[in-house]
Structure 1
């Protein structure tokens, strides 16, 4: 098979596709990743062939728009319409280039992460199946009645009608317990963490409860005030916990003066650290949540964006996390919730149940057979 993977230029969305793309290449299939120019270099660092299509969109400004409650790009209404407008802008920027690449590459299927909606449109134009690859709780399921109308003009410009933006097949690395009942049927796959190509860091054993604090990559890009990690680290360190702050190099200047004894780890893959941790305190990104659950580690989540809130709500409902609204974050509340999650054992047990649920799923190598079936093209 020839498989065209695609995502817009957001690293965490790319990382969600990496292990499946690797599995397909290892099975003898030809893989190309198409993305906006800003992500081509990072795709290469992930060990995958990359081709730039379209042009870059200022995603940070658009996310900042709905995070701050402003109107951006002429898209009126609440956060949902503004977020959908952002996805449309990405699709518009990529679609012509993606179709052109497809005509040269001649893929048997287009594999896309659920917000890269140029993917199913290009697949329809090329006459091949579209395969949706989730990266967490299927939050796009609730937009099923909204997206077709929003994307219809773009489809029509390319001579397309009634394109199913949800693809012929969905691949899902999320434990079923975290999916809403409205989610469409999916092929389950085991979640294997990939958090970037940095050097792994292994933590030595500790005599105290160890808490990993990470705030992903998005929030610091939007505004310093959304990057809550320094205050969280200080609050938890004062409770006598061993605190490990996992940050990117770009976030280091935002840390300020941290207390002595706080370990700061820079540009290391999160999955290399979490096996030695007792709790993860984070923003609620899908990759962070699933990586923690892969290790059976409970979480304390402070979501600030709608998708983070959706992932956080799912894992909290499953009993594996505590949840704090950003407005209620204080040193006292952070210490109280962290202590409850560390001392009770209930959240740890729930996280381990989800870990076992994930381990029972088939590995990405097995999903290549489903891709072969949907395309009718074995290796």
Structure 2
């Protein structure tokens, strides 16, 4: 059996997929260790799992869009957080001696540590921004991002290797989607699409099931954990939009209670919900376009209204619309009437659910977490002729 080390970042939405893949690896008899923030990982992996802590560096979305948001992502989060976890990632690889290092697409320090120590690594992509670059609206995206990669190499004692794009392993790239969404978009070399990786979530919160009305249809409204501070007005418009439908629709809205004071009777507000328990019971999802939640909905045949904010959200919205599985609206300016019309269409026109089920079937065929684990095990079993540039301790 093989030894794996997962290197993850302190972003809650980036942890569900690697957790599910790790569970599949362990179920197959492999050994898994982790490098990442203790406060986020311990509740998920349990007290006995091997953990190399990195500490935690927070990042919050702002209201920028387009290339401004990409620059903010890299300069405000990707580069600083990789400098922050550099030493911990290097120590983890040196100490654990894994057969394969499995890294978040933005945990570039994990890829560098694997490269330094002559260990093959695999990349998992929890979003579409890097996997299917939005060159139609940001033609400068690819060149600008590639120009940032030497700054990551400069965090170590390694010379820049221009043959390696640190965002994508030369050995294995796992895309958590399927061609039902990506279409014919070119993908990185060594890329496999497994669909979303869904598994057991030990930290899933409870839910007020006694307030659930089985006589009404159900809509989940969520903008994830990183954009709630931008969503107060959007929440208000969504509540106004669903008011005319209150006799037949019950809304579950994830938000801190102070952002949605005194919600109407047809709206249940909770800071967190057990998403995978809710999905089979939902009739529609309203989301900002995070690939994780959107894919979870489509995996259950639930159509989606996407209100993209930034980063890969517009790309996810475009893919959902082109697949016929949902509708795109403006996060910042959609009126309550427009939101009512979109939600009514999603609930009443069967084509959206039929296409959502089609995408969900493609996810199931791709194999999910079990398929991702199988690809990782195959990588661990390969003989990799790799000569590390150097393995001296980092200064």
TM range (shorter): 0.7 to 0.9
- 1:327 counterpart SS class: coil
Separation in 1 of the partners of 2:110 and 2:294? Answer: 25
1:234-253, aligned counterparts within 5 Å? 234-240=240-246, 241-247=248-254, 251-253=256-258
Q: Structure 2 CA distance, aligned partners of 1:90 and 1:374?
A: 27
Q: How far off is 1:136 after superposition?
A: 3.8
- Cα separation, 2, equivalents of 1:88 and 1:116: 10
Q: Given the superposition, is the C-alpha separation of residues 238 and 80 from structure 1 closer, same or farther in structure 2, using an over 3 Å criterion? A: same
Answering whether residue 105 of structure 2 is matched by residue 114 of structure 1, we say yes
224, 227, 237: which is aligned to 1:216?
A: 224
Q: State the 1:365 CA deviation.
A: 2.9
Distance 1:131 1:144, change over 3 A: farther
Give TM-score, length-normalised by structure 1: 0.86
Q: Any idea what SS the aligned residue of 1:280 has? A: strand
How far apart in 1 are the matches of 2:261 and 2:237? 10
**SS, match of residue 193 in structure 1:** coil
Deviation of the 1:50 alpha carbon = 5.8
User: Residue 359 of structure 2 corresponds to which residue in structure 1?
Assistant: 354
* Residue 70 (structure 2) pairs with residue 80 (structure 1): yes
Question: 2:175 is matched with which residue?
Answer: 172
In the TM superposition, 1:93-108 aligns within 5 A as 93-108=84-99
Q: 1:9 to 1:103 in 2, by over 3 A?
A: same
Structure 1's 299 and 215: CA in aligned 2 closer, same or farther, altered over 3 A?
A: same
CA–CA separation in structure 1 for the residues paired with 2:4 and 2:213: 43
Distance 1:282 1:3, change over 3 A: same
Q: Which residue of structure 2 aligns with residue 74 of structure 1? A: none
The answer for the alignment partner of 1:57 in structure 2 is: 57
**Contact 1:175–1:358 at 8 Å: present in 2 too?**
yes
Q: Deviations over 1:68-115 (max 9, x none)?
A: 479xxxxxx733223222311211111122011211111111111212
Q: SS state of the match for residue 328, structure 1? A: coil
Change in CA separation of 1:213 and 1:223 when aligned onto 2, cut-off 3 Å: closer
1:340 and 1:141 map into 2 onto residues whose CA distance is 28
Q: Could you list the per-position Cα deviations for residues 238-280 of structure 1 after superposition, in whole angstroms to 9, with x for gaps in the alignment?
A: 32342222425xx122111111232334532211112122111
Report the structure, 1 or 2, having the larger helix content.
1
Instruction: Report if aligned partners of 1:301, 1:321 keep a CA contact under 8 Å in 2.
Output: yes
What is residue 281 of structure 1 aligned with on the other side? Answer: 286
List aligned pairs for 1:137-216, cutoff 5 A.
137=128, 139-142=130-133, 145-156=143-154, 157-162=156-161, 163-165=164-166, 166-167=168-169, 168-179=171-182, 181-184=185-188, 185-193=190-198, 197-199=203-205, 201=207, 206-216=214-224
* 3-state DSSP of counterpart to 2:374: helix
Structure 1: state its 5+ residue gaps: 71-76
State yes or no: 1:333 paired with 2:334: no
TM-score (norm 2): 0.83
1:91 paired to 2:95: no
Closer, same or farther in 2 for the Cα pair 1:245/1:363, shift >3 Å? closer
Q: Tell me the secondary structure at the aligned position of residue 268 of structure 1.
A: coil
